[in-house]
Amino acid sequence: MLALSAQRVLPKVDYALFVDTGWEPAAVYAHLDRLEREVAAPAGIPILRVSSGNDRNDALNPSHRFASMPLYILNQDGRPGMTRRQCTGEYKIKPIKAKVRELLGYPYPARIPKGTFAEQWVGISTDEFHRAKDADVQYMRNRHPLIDMGWSRTDCTRYLTTLGLADTPKSSCLGCPFHGNAQWRHIRDTSPTEWADVVAFDAAIRKGNARANAVGNRLLGEAFLHPSRLPLDQAPIDHVTAAEWAALQQPPGTSAVDAEELEQGVENGCSPWACRGAETNAVHSDFGLAA
């Protein structure tokens, strides 16, 4: 959408926001620099980088409050579970709301007058129209230009290719538990340094996040980044068929994992206002004043 706006296919936006969780792949940061240099700056569109911190470092810091990731749990009795997902709200939605308030001239805790709002474009294509949601505050109104244009993901890829941007990488935390096997393989096979990082992180969170452990709220079981509930460097991330997955020794009670989801990752991922499940309550009270 930034390119569409820069080329005036869509109206020129006032700002483009990049929400930095602090743990994106190096390729994403390099691509963002390129977009800023070659697309945004020539069109006079500022890219604002906003952040609530570094979710990797926060998870391992016993003195820092941590918004939990959706980790796969193997309980002491052998049954599977998952931790709550709060990271999208804390590291994506919260900094967006804070910046929008600032741009509107009403930083928290100022009350925003009724009728004052920012129009926010969300990049959801027609393939995923069911993900299109309204913002949960009155001072932000979501719009979905790609759906309005009738563009599918294929249309977006074709357009990016004409601009020499076909290699646009996916933005997501390096160690997101919602990665599919294809994403884990890509990290392993193309970036040894980043693979070593996620393997080390997976091992470090085996007993839960450091803050919870420091205050005595220890995890009764073990946590993993991969749904197999095995250490990441031992997990079956090479292409696994549905039959092969079913044959693996999974914890009792583990629900069947869709083969497509296992390979490509959880549909909807962690996009703000389009993620799987509702988790905005953790930040609503801080940045949700609308009147």
Query: Both tokens of residue 116?
Result: 């004052």
Q: Domain residues for 240?
A: 2-282
Query: Both tokens of residue 199?
Result: 């393997």
Q: Is residue 12 part of a domain?
A: yes
**Neighbouring residues of 192: CB distance < 8 A, sequence distance ≥ 6:** none
Q: Hey, what amino acid is at 269?
A: G
Separation CA 246–CA 224 (nearest Å): 19
**Angle, helix 181-190 to helix 192-204, in steps of 10 degrees:** 120
pLDDT tens, per residue, the chain with 291 residues: 999 999 999 999 999 999 999 999 999 999 999 999 999 999 999 999 999 999 999 999 998 877 788 999 999 999 999 988 889 999 999 999 999 999 999 999 999 999 999 999 999 999 988 889 999 999 999 999 999 999 999 999 999 999 999 999 999 999 999 999 999 999 999 999 999 999 999 999 999 888 888 888 888 899 999 999 999 999 999 976 666 666 665 555 555 557 778 888 886 667 776 655 444 333 333 333 332
Overall number of domains in the chain: 1
**What was the pLDDT predicted at 290?**
31
- DSSP annotation of 91 reads I
Query: Both tokens of residue 275?
Result: 């993620």
Coil, helix or strand for 280? coil
CB 47, CB 35: distance < 8 Å: yes
Separation CA 248–CA 59 (nearest Å): 30
Residues belonging to the chain: 291
Q: Is residue 133 part of a domain?
A: yes
**What was the pLDDT predicted at 27?**
97
Q: Is residue 73 part of a domain?
A: yes
CA atoms within 13 A on the CB side of 215: 10
Coil, helix or strand for 75? strand
Q: Is residue 288 part of a domain?
A: no
Q: Is residue 287 part of a domain?
A: no
Q: Is residue 291 part of a domain?
A: no
